[in-house]
Structure 1
């Protein structure tokens, strides 16, 4: 009869816990979906921020390029003005040479006419005029002197003509060189104008690109704002679901305590029964007369002793797990040795702290002494471990995204004790997990605070 009652009680408890587990699974499924949405929004927000940074870099690059174009434009404009001045100067030099050539041509023509006239006159008169001119002198010495000076005058006229011809040739050469230089300057001026047009076109293109980048950047900033708002709302949804999990877990914890008390009473009853059996066996031992009976009694005693040891071990484990937790927790220990914070608490409304280790499968430890109240596993978030740090149920830490948990539900853990490893979530970085700190006030509604590191 007692066995039937115990079996019926176990069936009822199993049914109640099956229903509680189903409710927990439904809440955890909602939490998983909300976390997936939050991670998608976070990735989208990160992508948008990276896009904004890229657009800012492109805008700065385009502004720098525009500055270079303006510098080149100013330099080419100065070169064009310098070339125009050189062209004007060369034109003035050519005009001056033209004037000098006209004067030289006029003098050359005049002297040439004079020499030609004299030569024609001497030829026509058959040197009579020359002889007559010489015959007017009174003595031969005067004739020689007059002839000498006439020869000098003729040679001077011819020399002047030759000098004028050389001067004309030099002026003509200079004019040709100036004309060539002027043509080269005109070509250079045309090239500079062509380069100026190209640089102006490039400047217009850069200005158009900068306007387009500014428009795109404004659109990206609007998307960042919308995504941030959605991420904050998703964080609030996750917090609400987590509150429901805590409430359900509190109810399950009360049921666990009740079952623990029943188990304690059952063990005490069994110990009493074993004591009675032990006394009975002791009495039987006294009455035993044959060795076979004594051996049987010894075997039963050994079995009883082993069972007593097992019960003591169970009682010790139960006492350790059910021992009151400390009322003061103190500062929380960083849960990942050598790790770093990649997304701090409060950024973009985030209620948790994302922590990354140096590599995948990094060991995660308990941030303080406490009792494991829940270990949940799902295909997307990996293992989620919840630890209560006082019996009043006012302080909890939550570790999500773990794999290979090294603790079990209802187990007492110490500060710094290994509880699992990173890399349990296939949708997150294998060396990253999320760390939450929840404080439950008198109304029973928890709030989420910074871990303080």
Structure 2
């Protein structure tokens, strides 16, 4: 009897130890889930901080644009004023040119008068030199026939000499006037040309400044657009992290509920085992072994693996942690590619190709992205660890956010949407939550074939 009781006690102890070991493993799983949740919360906090920084940067860029806009308006005002001054100087130059044309006419008249006087002097010189040039003023005076004739001849000579002197004086004055008019005209025209040149240089400088401000404004707008795009990407990442946090929180609640139920079952099993041990101690004879065997707790197991329906043309669901999400050949592997790093694999195939969930989980994101195209993110809690799978460039999606899916369940069709080159499925596996830097991404071929 003591040996039977001892045997039962050892068996019960082993059973309880297994339960305790299972409880410890479950506790570790719960701890891991909580750690993952904390990590996601930290990532969300960092992303939100980056979003706030992006908002501040956008405001700074907008303020800078407003400042540049005001400077451009000031430059435009200066350009308009300079253009008006240039137009005014052009008008003055036009008027001065007309004056110059008139002066040219006056100069022509002066030249004509000078030429006429020159001819008169030449004629008079010729008249005095007729007869071989023997006649002179002295001969004219000595040739007088009487004293009165002499007086007349002296007056005539004086008159001629005075007239010649007047002609010479007027000739000099006209030449001086001509030179003065020419110099005045040239000086005024040169001054106007200088002013116009200065204004044109000022205009060029202002236009250069305007071009520089326009270029800077365009640069600021590009920076604002880039920052807005970064902000959208950060918001997208934040939404994915929020969905992951919710999925992990749900997994924690399920795990806590399961632990609570296990603790309850363990307490009931322990109470039943004690009752059986006490009953066994009182039993005698051949019925003791049978009573002892009945008192041992029966091992119960449940298959939590949700066997998803096999979609036509989809690969069969494998027994590993993950199943292959689509049929086809691998067109691009995990690793360096095109100067960057490919964080997943590409599975390609022509025709209508169904895509299935690689494991049981919760859809944390079902949306359209400029880069991923139609994409689905699924969070998985497997053996207390968090995984995230990504299915990108889908032609269409048949699951929505927060939907629970089973391993092998149809989620969409292979496509060529987003930043894609040919129909294929871009498939990623992350050991932990997804993040923008994809630091948790691993080679999917580590889990599937």
Q: TM-score, normalised by structure 1?
A: 0.44
By percentage of residues, which structure has more helix?
Answer: 1
User: Which gives a bigger RCO, structure 1 or 2 (Cα 8 Å, sep 6+)?
Assistant: 2
Q: TM-score, normalised by structure 2?
A: 0.44
